[in-house]
Amino acid sequence: MNWITNYVRPTINSLFSRKETPDNLWTKCPECGTMLFHRELKNNQNVCVSCDHHMHITPRDRFTALFDGGIFTEVSVPAPIEDPLKFKDQKRYPDRMKAAQKSTGEKEAVLVAEGEIGRTPIVAAAQDFSFMAGSMGMYLGNAFIAGVERAIELKRPFIMFSAAGGARMQEGILSLMQMPRTTVAIEMLKEAGLPYIVVLTHPTTGGVTASYAMLGDVQIAEPNALICFAGPRVIEQTIREKLPEGFQRAEYLLDHGMLDRVTHRTSLKGELTTILRMLGNQPAAVAGELPAPAKVEEASEEEATTATAVETTSEAESENTPQEEQQA
């Protein structure tokens, strides 16, 4: 009885038991409701294949798709003072930071990296809206300045991917001070003669919009991104009027001269490469890879050696044939 209970029954149960399905295999599009398989969604850079809705994408995933071969090097950022105001609302500020770090796996709301796109070297920074709404704090100011200084040191363009709900209230006036700090950093780029390109993603609001997000040499936005200082709901409640359809969305701002381009996420790498090479007076990017010249030369030398050996063998055979006939 013990043998049946301890061995046979568990074996049968293991063969016919129902396997649990992971929870993250499917994602529902918030716009059209289509269920999207996780690999299909990742391959399309978190853009719905049914309605083209641009979902949230982390800075690390964005950089993996943006940089050549998904290869990039993170730029080190000086750490700011932790909880300078000893802020506490429903939670202590350090507790909120730990919760955000645990849920995202990132240290802060911005990632700075260097690498190449279309063989064009750049330095880029991207905000993560899933980390405390991508809010602008002292770390972001340090990261922005570190990225700009690295771009000036390497003489590379600087690209900023913005996504934020505004300044971080837990840091008070110190977070607002990042607005002039980032503005001064942009002036440093201009003095160095280096391009500064901004890609506005959904959503970009508050103090971020009022500072570095709208100071680019070229302003690009993803489709249907919300870009504003005060949100449409606040404006409607203030002026007590209904706002136009699509107000403060990327396409509306493009029509009213606030943006240069609205570009699909999957086309962004090619467009950025073209713009950067034009601004840098460089030739068009290489569209395809050709075999290395050294390998071609080695192959031709091998073919020539083989052909010479064949000719030598055939000549030796032709010389030996008359001698064999005479001997016969």
Tens digits of residue pLDDT in 19-66: 666 667 899 999 999 999 999 999 999 999 999 999 999 999 999 999
Residue type, 28: K
pLDDT of residue 217: 97
Name residues of the chain where pLDDT drops below 70: 1-9, 13-23, 288-328
* Alpha-helical segments (H) within the chain: 2-3, 9-16, 38-43, 59-66, 93-104, 138-154, 173-176, 178-191, 206-209, 232-239, 250-255, 268-279, 293-327
Task: Extract the tokens encoding 38.
Answer: 């996780």
Express each pLDDT in 80-99 by its tens digit. Answer: 999 999 999 899 999 999 99
The residue among 220, 224, 263, 261 whose CA lies nearest residue 245 is 224
Helix or strand (DSSP H, E) at 35: strand 35-37
Are 118 and 270 in contact by the 8 Å Cβ rule? The answer is yes
CA-CA distance, 27 to 39, in Å (whole number)? 10
- Reduce the DSSP state of residue 165 to 3 states and report it: coil
> Phi-psi region for residue 8, left (φ > 0), alpha (ψ -120 to 50) or beta?
alpha
CA-CA distance, 265 to 304, in Å (whole number)? 49
pLDDT of residue 284: 86
* Alpha-helical segments (H) within 192-241: 206-209, 232-239
Mean pLDDT score of the chain: 88
Are 36 and 49 in contact by the 8 Å Cβ rule? The answer is yes
pLDDT of residue 303: 62
CA-CA distance, 93 to 100, in Å (whole number)? 11
Please report, in angstroms and rounded to a whole number, the separation of the first and last CA atoms in the chain. 94
What DSSP string runs through 172-190?
A: THHHHTHHHHHHHHHHHHH
